[in-house]
Amino acid sequence: MIKYADWHCDTASSIYETGEHISDSNTHINLKLLKNFDSPVQIFAVWLRKEYYNDAFNKTVEIINNFKNEIKSNMDSISLVKSYKDIVNNKGRVSAMLSIEGCEALEGSIEKLDMLYDMGVRLATLTWNYKNCVATGVMESNLGGGLTEFGRKAVRHMEDKGIIIDVSHISDEGFYSVAEFTEKPFIASHSNCRSICKAPRNLTDEQIRLIGERKGIIGLNMCQSFLNDSGKASVDDVIKHTEHMLGICGENSICLGCDFDGIPSTPEGMDDVTYIKSLYDRFETEFGKDTAYKVVYGNFIDFIKDKI
């Protein structure tokens, strides 16, 4: 079995909405599927429907608690991890780490950020598609502005606390504001190349280069509409985006951020997380064994060693 680590899935929010269980849910990721990998590491994002924004913190806590109950019911297969050391000591089980997708839950409060950290959140995607108390999302770029005054305070606190900062979904202006007001490496957990696919959710070549120069990470997204302008994509498109990134930011800054259970459709021939095994084989064929290992697992582990 190969090792596997991924920066972003929406499975925790999906099973909250449907009432399914992580053990055997009808989703891209569940525990039965993850058993195909050697001690996999998966970051589970808490994503909120827009109608939850008026009570974002409490709804986020509710989803986290539901997910923790699922972990308790499957302790032989999965464990919540909060540090690199936890992952190292968690051999044989899924290492599940929490993130928030959009900082609506902060509600302008550093204290709520601290509370989420105490619950296990170790990564914060600063925005989803809309403007919030921290920054402007990509679908409201017309509103302008980078990090808000509170957002600048929040990202500094995240760096001090040990919460990884994620710029996927943020506006271009917000991206460069993060680069200006942070000191540590930051990531784009689930974004592709805008020069190949024009979706505004993707990164420009300049942004890809900057993340690489800052020794950050970019997670390859499996959403078809972020892989190909036609909206139909295959593994060949994943390879194109990977090759393009390799030429700009290098092999040490590319990972997986598949966005499973948060995307409407996967590339042709990639029905669920188990197909990462065939993608690994393709990476090995195209780029060599060392690069394949780095993208599918090694770069993730190397990045978080001194971050959490």
DSSP class of 302: H
Q: Which residues of 258-291 are buried (b: 16+ CB within 10 A; e: fewer)?
A: bbbbbbeebbeebebbbbbeebbeebbeebeeeb
Question: Measured on CA atoms in the order 133, 138, 139, 143, is the torsion positive or negative?
Answer: positive
Distance CA 194, CA 154 (A): 28
Q: Which pTM value belongs to this model?
A: 0.97
Question: Measured on CA atoms in the order 127, 47, 49, 260, is the torsion positive or negative?
Answer: positive
Distance CA 27, CA 226 (A): 20
The tens-digit pLDDT sequence of the chain (308 residues) is 999 999 999 999 999 999 999 999 999 999 999 999 999 999 999 999 999 999 999 999 999 999 999 999 999 999 999 999 999 999 899 999 999 999 999 999 999 999 999 999 999 999 999 999 999 999 999 998 899 999 999 999 999 999 999 999 999 999 999 999 999 999 999 999 999 999 999 999 999 999 999 999 999 999 999 999 999 999 999 999 999 999 999 999 999 999 999 999 999 999 999 999 999 999 999 999 999 999 999 999 999 999 99
Give the residue among 130, 135, 116, 129 at the shortest CA–CA distance from 60: 116
Distance CA 129, CA 226 (A): 14
Distance CA 284, CA 8 (A): 22
Measure Cα distances from 229 to 37, 195, 204 in Å: 32, 11, 15
Instruction: Give the three-state DSSP class for 15.
Output: helix
Site of tokens 């892989």: 227
* 220, 208 contact by CB (below 8 A): no
Q: What angle do CA 84, 88, 94 make, to 5 degrees?
A: 95
Give the residue among 25, 51, 49, 42 at the shortest CA–CA distance from 304: 42
Neighbours of 169 (CB within 10 A): 24
Q: What pLDDT does 271 receive?
A: 96
Distance CA 149, CA 243 (A): 38
* 259, 8 contact by CB (below 8 A): yes
